[in-house]
Structure formats: structure tokens, C-alpha cells
Structure 1
Amino acid sequence: MNEGLQDRLEKFGLSLYMIRVTLAASLSWLAVHTLYGDSYLYFAPLAAILITQGSVKASLEKGVYRMTGIVLGGIVSLVVGRFFDVGALSILLMLLIGIGVATACRINIQAISQVGVTSVLALTFYNDHYIEWRVAETLIGVVIALIINMIIVPPKGFVKVKGLALEGGLLLADALSGQTGGGREAIQAGDALTRSASLLAKSELQQKELHYTLTHYHCRNELRGLTQTTAHLKKIHSYVKEIRAEIALLPAHYAAADWMAEVVTATADCIALYGTKTLSDAECQRSLPESLRRARDLQLAWFSELQGQCSLTSIRDLGAVFSHLNRVLEEIEQADYVVMSAAPQKAKAGAAHAVRFIQKGLSHKL
């Protein structure tokens, strides 16, 4: 789907989810009508509508829960229906057995509710082959909905989610560096921290929509790496939030001191450098390991010097700030190690693919 076309459609309420649902329901009805004629045509579209979610994985999970509930509810209704007519007693027994077995097996609550619905409907239509039609047509609706979810995806989805994560990481660095300022600067830092959390959460949500889709199969490794990077940035965000709270409790002459600004800014630079290095194609002028080493040396040097100048109470409060600052550096160091260790494996896989390609070409020539 064209990016400009999607933006124009969303202005009129035609979101990507709505397009998926309408296509899946329509194609499900058409498929069942072509295969079976006019019997129970509504089951397949109903299943397609109910299981279509924002991601392929979520749709698959919901489809499995629905199929599990339908099969279990159908079996229970067949057993009870052989001995009882439709009535209060038969419905009571059927629900007790079906829901009781599903609960004892620790089946998901969505499947348990489907057991009850299917049992009652199946017992009502017991003589009309309801269960066979229900299972077959629901399966058709689930399969078609999954295929639509795999095909209909946001245009340039990977580029968008990567850009959101990068913007969130840079805002996180700005939010940390602005913590030592007072007044308007502190308010802007708080706003940046909030917007950073929103962007990282949005990126994480949209990343899930791209998993297992056909158009993003070729970049599945990059998508997996982006997911890990976003998780690291969200953890760093939690540390920055703690730093903000701890700095707010410090006396003003500590929070606004030049040495505090120097230490915090050096740590924030590491966040920005990690985000740029991992999520951007721009060439970094500075080395991340060197920046991490410099920030850690600054933290240790200033904290050591302050121990001889401050009271025990102040050292305790400052220690909380320095502790969280160090955790930010440790998280970045760990995240960068994961990226660096994955790079040789990726290069090795690419080299192996090239060798296979050359061998295949030579075999054709020979």
C-alpha cells in the first residue's frame, strides 16, 4: 500500500485495521460460499472479524483460542445432546462439564468463554450438523485473517519504527542532560522524558505488527535487533526517570552544580551515541567505548572528591544519583556488546550465503 494513500484513507477513518477486517471478512464469506454454498455462511466472516488483531502473532493466538473453544464446546455438546433434550438441565450439565474441563486444563479465558458459547449453540442446532460447519468455516476464517494480516502491512513500516525508536532515544538523552537545569529547562526535560516514553512505546507496538509479515521477512534479523535495542532504551528510560526523581530531592546547590551538569551530560552523550550508532546510518565521529569510559571516570572522580566535602546525608542522596547514572552506562555497555557480538555472526552468515551462491553458479557451468 502506498504511504500517501494510507495517510489520505486514515483521514476518512479507513485505518489499516479496518482494511484488514473488511478484506478478511469479505474473502472468508466468498471462500465459504464457493466451497459449500449457502450453509452457515456467517461463521467464517465472524471468525475473521473477531481474530484480526494488530499483529500476526496476536491474531494467531486468538485464532487458536477460538478454535480450541469451538472444538471442546462441540465435543461436550455432542455428548450431552445424545442423552438430553435442549433445556435448563442439559445446558447446566454441558456448561459445567465444558467450562470445568477447560478451567482444569488451564486454558486461556478467551477459549473458556468460547466453550460456553459453542456448547449452547451446538446443542440448539444439534440435528443440523452445526458443529461440523462451525469448525470448518471458523478454520477458513482464521486462515484467511492470518494471511491478510501477513500481507496488509504499513508502508515503509521498518523505516518508520526505526525512526521512532531513534527519536525516542535522542529525546531520552536530551531529557537526561536537562535534569540539572532549573525552571523552564527542567520542565522541558520532563516533557522530553514523557515524549520519549511515548515514542519508544509506539515503536515497540508497531514492531510487533511487522513480525511474521511477508514484506518484512527479508529484514527479520534487523527487526529482531531493533526490538532488543528498544527494550534496552526503555530500561534506560526507567533509570533516567529515577535520576530525575533523585535530583529533584537534592539541594539546589548540588543539583545545579557545574560538576553535576558535567557528569550528567557525559552520560546523556552515551545514550545519544548508542542510539545514533545502532539506529542510524550516520557515521559517528566518537567511539562509544571511549565515551562510556570517560563518563565512568567522571562519575568516579567527582564522587570520590565529594566524599571529602559533603556530609553523610548528602553523600547518601548523591550516591543514589550516581548509582543510577552508573546503571545507565552498564545498560548501554551491555546493549552495545550484544550488537557487536551479533555483527560477526551476521557477516559469517552473509559469507556462507555468498559461498553457496558461487558454488551453485559453478555447478551450473560445469
Structure 2
Amino acid sequence: MNEGLQDRLEKFGLSLYMIRVTLAASLSWLAVHSLYGDRYLYFAPLAAILITQSSVKASLEKGAYRLLGIVLGGIASLVVGRFFDVGALSILLMLLLGIGVATACRINIQAVSQVGVTSVLALTFYHDGYIVWRVAETLIGVLIALIINMIIVPPKSFVKVKDLALKGSLTLSDALTGLTSGGRDAAQALTALKLSGELLGKSTQLQKELHFTLSHYQCRKELGTLSQATSHLSRVHSYVKGIAEEISLLPAHYAAADWMTEVVTATADCIALYGTRTLSDAECGRSLPESLRRARDVQLAWFSELQGQCPLAAFRDLGAVFSHLNRILEEIERADYAAISAAAQPAKATPARAIRFIQKGLSHKL
């Protein structure tokens, strides 16, 4: 769906969720009517409405729980219905059996509640083949809802997910730079550090959900590269958290020293440069390998100089900071090497196909 079209539709209340629900329910009713006629037509649209969520994964989970609850509830009603008529005692026994077994098996609460609903309705319609119709038509509704969720997705989802990862990397770089400022700036750096973790985590979650959609099939290679880059940045984020903890234990004159600012800033620049090169189309005037080499030289130079100037206890704590900073550089170096290898390998394997994709503009299609 075009992004401009979606914005215009939402002004009139036609959100993406509403479009998914109405299409899934309508197609479910049409499919069941074509297959079975006029028997229990409402089960398939009802299932489609109830399981449609914002993502395919969430819809799949909800649909699985609903089907599981219907099957368990149907079995409980069949067992009790063979020996008892509809009444307070039969409903009591049926719910004790169905919900008790579901709870004992540690089944999700959504499936447990569906067990109770199906049990009562199945016992009421016991002589009308309710259970078979309910399971079959619910399955049809679930499948159609999942297909609709896989086809109709927010416009430019891949670009938005990629932007989240880019913003997370730049925010992480700013957070690392601000850790040596002290006072209010240090508090802001900790806030930025938390925000960067949330951005990278959200990007990772949305990337997993994109794998379930059909419209992003042509972006599967770029999606794999993005997932790899986000994974490396998440590890870098854990190292920055360690640096924040270690710096908070240092005396103020060490944490806010000019040499500490120089060392930390050189490392933070490598994070920002890697994120910009890998996650955006912006031109980078600097070379990442050269920036990594410079940052490592600055670390080694200051670490050597501080050996003879600092007390043993302070030098031990400083060593922890320098160790985390070096791990960041190593992680970015590995990430850059992995990105270059992934980009070069397909070009050697299938050059003709890559040229056709570029000519058609499919390499940038979202």
C-alpha cells in the first residue's frame, strides 16, 4: 500500500487495521459460503476479526490459541454431553474438565478462556454437529486472516525499521560521548543510552515480524544484512553500558579529563560512522578502517602514558574502561568485515541477476 494513500485513508477512519479486519471477515464469509452453504457462516468471520493483529506473528499466536481452545472445549463437551443433558451440573463438570486440563497443561490464558466458551456453546448445540463446523470454519477464518496480514502491511516498513536501527546507533554514539561530561550532561547520556537500547530492541523485534510478510520477500537480503548489523550494535550497546558503570566508579578528575574525552570520542565516532555507512545511503567522507585504527592508537597511547601516572587502584579501574572501549572497536571491526563479505559474495555468485535487479530498480524497492 502506498504511504500517501494510507495517510489519506486514515483521515477518514480507514486505518490499516480496519482494512485488514474487514477484508479478512468478508473473504472468510465468502469462502465458507462457497464451500458449505448457509451452515454456521458466522464462525469464520468471527475468527478472522478476533485474531487479526498488528503483526503476522501476533495473529498466528492468537489463531493457534483459539484453535487449541476450540478443540479442547469441543472434546470436553463431547465427553460430558454423552452422559448428561444441558444443565447446571453438565456445565459445571464440562468446565471443570476442560479448563482444569488446560490449566494443568500450562496452556496460554487465551486458549483457556476459549475452552470455556466453546464448551458451553458446543454442549448447547451438541446434536447439530456444532463442533465439526466450528473447528473447520474457524480454521478457514484464521488462515484467511493470516494471509491478509501477510499481504497488507504498512508502507515502507523496511525503511522505517532500518531508520530505527540507524537512530539507535547514532544515539548510542552520542550517549558514549556524553558519559565523560559529568553532571547534567552525564544524566542525559544515560537517558540516551537507555533510548538507544529501546530503539535497537524495537528494530530487532520488527525485523523478525517482517520475515512473515510476502511484500518484503524481495528485501530478504537487505533484511538479513540489517539483522546482522543490529545484532552487532546490540553487543556494542552492552559494552557501552559497562563503560557507563565503570566511569561512574572513577574519581571525577579522571572521568572528566581531556584525555578520557579524546579516547571516548574517538571510539564513539567509529560507532556513528559504522551506523551511517551500513544503515543509510549517506556519503561518508571518512574511512571506517582508518577511524578504527586511529581510535585504537589513541587508546594505546593514553593507556601507556597513564601506567606511570595513576595509582594502582585507579589504574585498575581505568583498565576496565579501556578494555570495554577496545571490545567496541573489535565488534565494529567484525561487523564491518561481515557487511563487506555479505555484499561482495552475491556479486561474485550471480552478477547477471544482480545487474537485472538494479536495472529494474528492485534492489531499492520496498
TM-score (norm 2): 0.84
Closer, same or farther: CA 171–148 of 1 in aligned 2, 3 Å: same
| Aligned counterparts, 1:339-350, within 5 A | 339-350=339-350
> Per-residue deviation at 1:142?
0.6
Q: Which amino acid aligns with 1:54?
A: S
Q: Which amino acid aligns with 2:319?
A: G
**Gaps in structure 1 of 5+ consecutive residues:** 356-366
Closer, same or farther: CA 137–273 of 1 in aligned 2, 3 Å: same
Bigger Cα displacement from structure 2, 337-346 vs 164-173 = 337-346
Q: Is the 8 A contact 1:2 1:155 kept in 2?
A: yes
**Gaps in structure 2 of 5+ consecutive residues:** 356-366
- Residue 273 in structure 1 maps to residue 273 in structure 2: yes
- Residue 312 in structure 1 maps to residue 327 in structure 2: no
> Per-residue deviation at 1:252?
2.2
1:131 alignment counterpart: 131
> Per-residue deviation at 1:214?
1.9
> Per-residue deviation at 1:48?
1.3
2:361 alignment counterpart: none
2:325 alignment counterpart: 325
Equivalent position SS for 1:282: coil
> Per-residue deviation at 1:198?
4.1
Equivalent position SS for 1:40: coil
2:256 alignment counterpart: 256
| Aligned counterparts, 1:48-63, within 5 A | 48-63=48-63
Q: Which amino acid aligns with 1:149?
A: N
Q: Is the 8 A contact 1:168 1:196 kept in 2?
A: yes
**Cα distance between partner residues in 1 of 2:52 and 2:234:** 28
Cα RMSD for the two superposed structures: 3.0
Equivalent position SS for 1:318: helix
> Per-residue deviation at 1:323?
2.9
1:360 alignment counterpart: none
Closer, same or farther: CA 106–54 of 1 in aligned 2, 3 Å: same
Bigger Cα displacement from structure 2, 304-313 vs 187-196 = 187-196
> Per-residue deviation at 1:80?
2.5
**Identity, % of aligned positions:** 81
The alignment of Structure 1 onto Structure 2 pairs a total of residues equal to: 357
1:64 alignment counterpart: 64
Closer, same or farther: CA 201–125 of 1 in aligned 2, 3 Å: same
Closer, same or farther: CA 224–92 of 1 in aligned 2, 3 Å: farther
Q: Which amino acid aligns with 2:307?
A: Q
> Per-residue deviation at 1:137?
1.5
**Cα distance between partner residues in 2 of 1:105 and 1:221:** 40
| Aligned counterparts, 1:1-366, within 5 A | 1-10=1-10, 14-99=14-99, 101-102=101-102, 107-183=107-183, 185-351=185-351
**Cα distance between partner residues in 2 of 1:28 and 1:303:** 68
Bigger Cα displacement from structure 2, 271-280 vs 73-82 = 73-82
Bigger Cα displacement from structure 2, 30-39 vs 78-87 = 30-39
> Per-residue deviation at 1:247?
2.2
